[in-house]
A and B are shown apart, each in its own frame.
Chain A
Amino acid sequence: TQLLEQSPQFLSIQEGENLTVYCNSSSVFSSLQWYRQEPGEGPVLLVTVVTGGEVKKLKRLTFQFGDARKDSSLHITAAQPGDTGLYLCAGVGTSGTYKYIFGTGTRLKVLA
């Protein structure tokens, strides 16, 4: 069974601080996605990384896929209250595109 562990589980920081969220597994994934979920809504895709070592930037968010395609990180620079939410990583296994394994989630709160 493929598992994705996220750390930390909870993070409360002041506006303007930097943070990093980690997503780790012992399994190899063909690609890894990051979603953000706000209260009362479904998750929304932020980015997909597909190549080992790949780095993608989305404004103040930087995503990295590990060289061995077993882990990923999300770094937020100068966090803002609008970044508050539940961040989920999701891995696509090597067996096909229709079984996504979701991580345990990181709940971020950015205080003004």
Chain B
Amino acid sequence: NAGVTQTPKFRILKIGQSMTLQCTQDMNHNYMYWYRQDPGMGLKLIYYSVGAGITDKGEVPNGYNVSRSTTEDFPLRLELAAPSQTSVYFCASSQGLASKTWETQYFGPGTRLLVL
């Protein structure tokens, strides 16, 4: 069982370039999330999705876009990379049961992005 997988592991971008960070989960989870983690800091929510076709903004959505066409995949798009987007990006998923008030989030290994 792979859990949550992310690609690539590491990427260097030039200012103004675009890229897509891939995230796939094989646990049939409804909820998926994208976070960024700056050096030595906690995680900030970028976007989240409660199911295929449904996405919403988190705390820091500017400069990013997402889509959720399938339950398994939740790609994160950077259109015009900026140095401020240098960070480690984590994708996570959780079951998404309406009857529960909390759930375990399962995180991928992260994508380290450097924008120069």
A: residues with CB less than 8 A from B are: 1, 4, 6, 9, 30-31, 33, 40-45, 48, 50, 88, 90, 92, 97-105, 107
Contact = CB atoms under 8 A, between A and B. Distances in A.
B40 interface: yes
Contacts of B108: 42
Contacts of B58: 99
Contacts of A97: 31, 94, 96, 100-103
A41 B110 contact: yes
B103 A40 contact: no
A42 B109 contact: yes
5 contacts: A4-B42, A40-B110, A42-B109, A100-B45, A105-B42
A50 B101 contact: yes
Contacts of B59: 1
Contacts of B103: 97
